[in-house]
Structure 1
């Protein structure tokens, strides 16, 4: 599941990184351990991918192989984790890079 929908989380993470400080003040944020526990217990989601963004922020995608639910989070260096996006129909993709047409 690591390659699944990686472009979407990366794009959302880029948008979220700019808004994360403001978002950290909202109700969609909590200490990381609490968020991870809630995603596991309520939705059966586990971490499927991870990436490091600007200013030490970490983007993670959590998903359930059984239900197809998914959640994208951003964790700030101070340990606060914010929910960025969530949805259904999570799938694992293993797409090859497109042919660039060069013979080099």
Structure 2
């Protein structure tokens, strides 16, 4: 189960990084409706959806990638924050679950 979580997080981080790179190259600005200062985004996720940070990672160009989720409502969101503090919502959904999975035996990557 732990491996499933790690795989999910790595997939999410990769996707979020790709989206961030697309946003950066297309010249989106703070006026984009899915981007705002980090404090405002975190507050909105907490107050509007009951989501708290579940994981964090460092993406391309030192962008911070975070997964927020609510155990109560099952909603989840992935955000990417640029070094300048602009946070963009890159994915969201429902049916979030925390899973814990034992690692496979050493030498067995299946």
Q: How far apart, CA to CA, are the structure 2 residues paired with 1:36 and 1:23? A: 23
Aligned equivalent of 2:20, options 17, 22, 30? 17
TM-score by length of 2: 0.79
Matches within 5 A, 1:1-104: 3=5, 5-21=8-24, 22=26, 24-25=28-29, 26-99=32-105, 100-101=107-108
Give SS of 2:13's match: helix
Superposition RMSD in Å: 2.3
TM-score by length of 1: 0.83
Q: Which has the higher helix share?
A: 2
Q: How far apart, CA to CA, are the structure 1 residues paired with 2:104 and 2:18? A: 25
Contact 2:13 2:59 in 1 (8 A): no
Structure 2: where are the runs of 5+ without partners? none
Which region of structure 1 is more displaced relative to structure 2, 37-46 or 91-100?
91-100
Contact 1:23 1:29 in 2 (8 A): no
Structure 1: where are the runs of 5+ without partners? none
Q: Which runs of 4+ in 1 moved over 3 A?
A: 2-5, 96-102
